[in-house]
Amino acid sequence: MTKLNTLLLAGALSLALFGANGLTAAPSPQKATAEDARAFIQAAEASLDQLFIEVSEAEWVYQNFITQDTEALSARASEKLTGEMVRLANAAAQFNDLELDYDTRRKLNMLRQGIVLPAPNNAEKNSELAAITTRLGGMYGKGKYCSEGGKCQNLGELSEIIGKSRNEKELRAAWEGWRTVSPPMRDLYARQVELTNEGAAELGYADLGQMWRSGYDMEPDAFAGELDRLWDQVGPLYDALHCHVRAKLGEEYGADVVPENGPIPAHLLGNMWAQSWANIYDLVAPEGTGETYDLTALLKSNKYDEVGMVKTGEAFFSSLGFAPLPDTFWERSLFVKPADREVVCHASAWDLDSKDDIRIKMCIKIDAEDFDTVHHELGHNYYQRAYKNQPTMYRGSANDGFHEAVGDTISLSITPAYLKQIKLLDKIPPAEGDLGLLMHKALEKIAFLPFSLMMDQWRWQVFAGKAGPEEYNDLWWELREKYQGVAAPGERPENAFDPGAKYHIPGNTPYTRYFLAHILQFQFHRSLCELAGDTGPINRCSIYNNKEVGKRLNDMLEMGASRPWPEALAAVTSKSTMDATAILDYFAPLKVWLDEQNKNRSCGW
């Protein structure tokens, strides 16, 4: 799941890549006119494409060949990009008081709001920020835990232990081991916060958090309230899942490890960050729920390889009427972890030329999780290609949650009926098996919701100065307990920087997009299933091979960022507000079962 779009250093949306070498300065406020503003935007858009290519290529090479030299090249490209983004954002503010046409005003606002890491308008500080940003990414990508015996393990190897072991001591060692990678990041991260807050202040924001919250076609405080409203809708379902999972983990590990009324120790949930609990399905699965299936086993028994996984994802989009991926996608993407060099294996989708050079980069495993991830990343690519004919500043999604939601919407159609159509299943399991499938999906999707919400809640408080470097870790675990009901397995070292052990913190990728995506994907899925005329349970619906649905979806994708997100949402759902009740509809049978299981348990933490 995870995931980002084209350029990690500047955020996931190409609309964030605002820089133009040699662009003439905006006229002074006394002389500025509406025509000046339109000319300014036209000049900026005309200059963007080459800069985008330069920076994208430098970052692609760095992430695929992590060396000191490629780090330096990426840092210089980032410095150049950030400097231009800041300069243009400051110049755009000079047109704030003019009455302008819709497109000019929207693009000027994007210039001001679209920077993920705004540097101060100072060459030395800009260079410092670029170096820090690149170094943090490299520290994560090269991270390894070396035990006292001299054995070194990377994130993939440690994650394998977390996902499969049922030995509490082994789990704890792997969990704590990966977190030895991040303490050296803390001071660098703190300095980055100082620099970017200074840059945000120069653009007129209280801090970087307020700036991030301003990019959603609504006031920052109103957006924060919208997140609270959506969480209130789904919170009771999460609470029920948490209660059941804690009880089952208590049976497995004992009350001395898993407290009956407290938060769940993070190392027991089958994922390095406890953001997905799917790997502990065997411990918490409903009993006697009928026939189900193991998608990982099906993929392996059918001899799927990495390319076959991606070809299957492409075929799904083709069944909806989308054109095949270009030959360059297959020639230039990275599917397999190279044996001879360090790469950033974190899955991501790339658009290197804002036209047709789209790629994915991931170290694919033949399992159910990566089968979903492939569909997710391809969703980014098809979205990127759909809006390629938009003006440069509109080449992005309606909001960043939309970009993340599109591929996951497709993943929701990976149902038994679909797997039978592509010959991975011989027959569709009976409906009584759905309870197990819903549990598995809930361990992935519902468990993720509070994690995806608290990530930026932590950053927003850090940006606002509510916690200094020495307090970063305490705040992290305070919020994890508040939202997730999850705790560290033991007392953390004084120098711990556990947020840095999650890619998106040193990678500087805003995370609220993933929370929004998990709301939107179910809302999209419910609406598209209704369009397809499917009147059965929405967890059994697949939009595979429905070109009418594909056209409705593509109409929204082609809009890019040209219209406010409520209009893009309405293009698919006929509603302009986000609605988490689709999640409740999808998991309704599971919620009934969970409530029955939890009847005599003490829930909450």
Write out the DSSP string of 29-94: TTT--HHHHHHHHHHHHHHHHHHHHHHHHHHHHHHHS--HHHHHHHHHHHHHHHHHHHHHHHHHGG
Whether the Cβ atoms of residue 51 and residue 79 lie closer than 8 Å to each other: no
d(CA 423, CA 287): 27
Q: Coil, strand, or helix at residue 424?
A: coil
Closest by CA to 186, choosing from 509, 480, 484, 494, is: 494
Tokens for 116, please give them: 């993920």
d(C-alpha 44, C-alpha 371), whole Å: 39
User: Which residues are designated catalytic?
Assistant: 377, 504
The Cα–Cα gap between 23 and 222 comes to 35
State the burial class of residue 36 (Cβ atoms within 10 Å of its Cβ: 0-12, 13-18, 19+): middle
For 351, the 3-state DSSP assignment is strand
41 contacts 104 by C-beta, under 8 angstroms: yes
CA atoms of 418 and 226, how far apart (whole Å): 34
- What is the Cβ-side half-sphere exposure of residue 175, based on CA atoms within 13 angstroms? 26
The per-residue DSSP string of 296-320 comes to: HHHHHHTT--HHHHHHHHHHHHHHT
The backbone region for 219, taken as left when phi is positive above 0, alpha when psi lies in -120 to 50, beta otherwise, is beta
* Neighbour tally for 466: CB within 10 Å: 12
Q: Which helix (H) or strand (E) holds 144?
A: strand 144-146
